[in-house]
Amino acid sequence: MNYYSLNHTAPNTTFENAVIKGLAPDRGLYFPETITALDPCFFETIETLSNKEIAYEAIKQFISPEIPEAILKEIVSETLSFEFPIIKLTDSISTLELFHGPTMAFKDVGARFMARCLGYFNKNNSSEVTVLVATSGDTGGAVANGFFGVKGVRVVILYPSGKVSNVQEKQLTTLGQNITALEVEGTFDDCQDMVKKAFLDYELTSKMQLTSANSINVARWLPQLFYFMFAYKQLKNKYKDIVFSVPSGNFGNVCAGMIAQKLGLPIKHFIASNNDNNVVTRYLKSADYKPKPSVQTVSNAMDVGNPSNFIRIQAIYNNDFESLKSNLSSYSFSDKETKEALNEIYKTTGYIADPHGAVGYLGSKSYLKTNPDVHCVFFETAHPTKFLDVVKEVVTVDIPLPKQIKAVIDKVKVATQINNYLEFKAFLTEI
């Protein structure tokens, strides 16, 4: 499989080069040249397959033959070492729990998959690859854990000071070894801008190999299509029309779901559930795409004012607004509504959601008002104990800390504070 730049002025390249480089030379995101639908019988019998068999069949066209079959199967197996259960809340709404991995967030899948791909490509390389990561919350911890100890790879994580939860901060600042955290005075967008600027800085790129582990990297982004297939496997014989409500920040999950749909997965519709960072909600109403500075919310992993992956979504639909709008709805919800939803979910079902899942739940309810005959699945993207300060405001029962959280909660944070790009560049030059 080859990949092309969505800026259309760089040469097409291999999966390996797309993973190692992260961005194309013209600063465009890489996108697969072709997407070949799977045999319909794959979906007709999907309930007979294991998650690992499903994932391998779904992903292999995007990677083969660069990673041999046996190695790719091993990568998939190591990536998917935990479960993805569906929990039914009402007759019309279920949730897919994506938080059973090592950092209790959906990004464990992409981070673990990418780390193993990069480790394979770098196994005989004497030079070091520096992975740059901007995080609004869960990406940092997932990437830190996924890349921890990987030979020849150094990870530098930028996160906005005071805008991630205590647990999220501990997960990305306490590992050490090849993982370094930079605490940025600013927003997620400031962190992301610094990372993008570093890729454009010839003084840096001429001296060190930089790549990204945000969802702009194809190896971080594409494995997210697995979630949709795992959900369909569990619901296929129960509901005819399945709609996914996805809490959306950088839009990697929705975009990956659309790839799963292109592969033939019978998804009825997508819902992008936004917090007050609602550039896509506004776009679908006006056809005018206007990024704006991000604002801080209680669902902080979605605090993104300029979603990187939206250009990939537009590419899937050949920049046809009406075609996209027919397959994607979007709703935006305030912090007040999010907290009310946390309370409602608990009071009516006994289920404790996290703030991001609550936004997904609200998106499901909004869509069902005019589409009552579908079954909505919202993504529960992180364990609620990662956001105890928010959840405990409305759910007053004791929530036991899972072992993954207990392992980091009392560790000492180690982070370097920076204020601007020059300080970031100086740090990279010195490591």
| Active centre residues (catalytic) | 107
Neighbours of 48 (CB within 10 A): 8
Q: Do 395 and 161 touch, CB atoms closer than 8 A? A: no
- Cα–Cα distance for residue pair 351/257, rounded to 1 Å: 25
> What does R_g of the chain's alpha carbons equal in angstroms?
20
H-helix segments, 350-431 = 355-368, 388-394, 403-409, 421-430
CB 93 within 8 A of CB 273: no
3-class state of residue 394 by DSSP = helix
- Give the rounded distance of the alpha carbon of 38 from its chain centre: 24
Residue that has been written with the tokens 């394979």 in this structure:
120
User: Measuring CA to CA, how many Å separate 105 from each of 41, 91, 160, 170, 381?
Assistant: 32, 26, 18, 14, 6
Cβ–Cβ < 8 Å for 389, 339: no
DSSP character string of 68-118: -HHHHHHHHHHHT-S---EEE-SSSEEEEE---STTSBTHHHHHHHHHHHH
Question: 286 has which bridge partners?
Answer: none
Show contacts of 277-281: CB within 8 Å, 24+ apart.
Answer: 277/249, 277/302, 277/303, 277/304, 277/305, 278/330, 278/332, 279/305, 279/306, 279/307, 279/310, 280/248, 280/251, 280/307, 280/310, 280/330, 281/330, 281/331, 281/332
Q: Judging by DSSP bridges, how do beta strands 30-32 and 2-5 pair with one another?
A: antiparallel
Q: Does the CA dihedral 205-207-213-217 come out positive or negative?
A: positive
